[in-house]
Amino acid sequence: MSAISELSTLKRRNGPMTAAEKKANGRDNKAAYIFLLPWLAGLVAITVGPMLMSLYLSFTDYNLLQPPEWVGLDNFIRMFADARLHNSLGVTFTYVFVGVPLQLGVALLIALVLDKGLRGLPFYRSVFYLPSLLGGSVAVAILWKQIFGTTGLVNQALAMFGIQGPGWISDPSTALGSIVLLHVWTFGAPMIIFLAGLRQIPVMYYEAAKVDGASTLQQFWRITLPMLSPIIFFNLVLQIIGSFQSFTQAFIVSGGNGGPSDSTMFFTLYLYQKGFGQFDMGYASAMAWFLLVIIGVFTAINFIAAKYWVFYDD
């Protein structure tokens, strides 16, 4: 083919599509939509539909037995006078603000150790990741309840040294701490992400720092943390969102009643009690949307603050 014919063919390809090309492109699009149809149907039926329905119910008085009755903003106004809801918010905030930093700190520490090139690294990586797969399960929550019960493994170990431990779950001062510890224990997912981020930091930065006489701690503060800040930010956002939605641990460990003196009454647990315990579905829907707003606000704050401490290597 001559250069002129090649140029004309290229122009024809880059120019407007012919009728045949448009017809073929339309067939491709139809095939794509057909393959996407099950996912789109699930999105509408399982996600978007229930969300819109819950938004409507949040403005109604609905008990699952009678038709919803429109009450406007009454459900949201009730929240200002609901002392138990205020307590659940305090418990949830404590769980998030204490559990998330501790979990990320432990995950980063373990990732730093594994990044040193230990023998059998895939095995250790799998072992440390396993709690993240099981941490939200009912079985592990029941196991945790047995470990920190009055006659659990922790108190049995303390008894060997002549120490009588408290009922960690039945004591209001320690009940929430035991669930926070369960959350910290499931550090596997952020650890894997941290480990992948550490492997992406160029070695030449550390070599140059050693030549300049920088200590290990200085290298960590001046190189590791800034280069790892996008990964820290990613893990922080995900863990905050997930922690606000925690339910299984509190429900199983506390027996579904919020624990002693409502010390483990998470916001999600109180929402469950209102919706499926007292059948106050309208109020529960309003609580769900209030939780969505809280998560959205904290996520927005993280993104706004990120520009002051997250470093992107361009």
Whole-model pTM: value is 0.84
Same domain, residue pair 24 and 133: no
Asked whether residue 6 is domain-assigned, the answer is: no
Of 44-48, 137-141, 214-218, 246-250, where does mean pLDDT reach its minimum? 137-141
Same domain, residue pair 266 and 150: yes
Kindly report, residue by residue over 289-300, the tens digit of the pLDDT.
999 999 999 999
Count of domains observed in the chain: 2
**Binning pLDDT at 50, 70 and 90, where does residue 13 land?**
low
Residue 48 vs residues 40, 44, 53, 295, 312: alpha-carbon distances, Å = 10, 5, 9, 18, 35
Kindly report, residue by residue over 37-62, the tens digit of the pLDDT.
898 888 888 889 999 999 999 999 99
Q: Look at residue 296 in the predicted model and tell me its pLDDT.
A: 96
Same domain, residue pair 42 and 82: no
**Binning pLDDT at 50, 70 and 90, where does residue 233 land?**
very high
Closest CA to 176 of 99, 257, 269, 274: 99
Same domain, residue pair 184 and 105: yes
Asked whether residue 2 is domain-assigned, the answer is: no
Same domain, residue pair 44 and 81: no
- The full DSSP string for 7-39 is HHHHHHHHSPPPHHHHHHHHHHHHHHHHHHHHH
Kindly report, residue by residue over 60-76, the tens digit of the pLDDT.
999 988 999 999 999 99
Same domain, residue pair 23 and 105: no
**Binning pLDDT at 50, 70 and 90, where does residue 285 land?**
very high
Asked whether residue 1 is domain-assigned, the answer is: no
Angle, helices 188-199/121-134, rounded to nearest 10 degrees? 140
Same domain, residue pair 79 and 42: no
Q: What is the mean pLDDT of residues 234-263?
A: 88
Same domain, residue pair 20 and 82: no
Same domain, residue pair 204 and 294: yes
Kindly report, residue by residue over 79-103, the tens digit of the pLDDT.
999 999 999 999 999 999 999 999 9
Same domain, residue pair 20 and 137: no
Detail the DSSP E strand segments found in the chain.
60-61, 69-70
pLDDT score of 17 more than 80: no
Which are the contacts of 37, defined by CB distance < 8 A and separation ≥ 6? none
Q: Look at residue 162 in the predicted model and tell me its pLDDT.
A: 83
Same domain, residue pair 26 and 169: no
Same domain, residue pair 86 and 29: no
Asked whether residue 101 is domain-assigned, the answer is: yes
Residue 27: domain span: 15-57
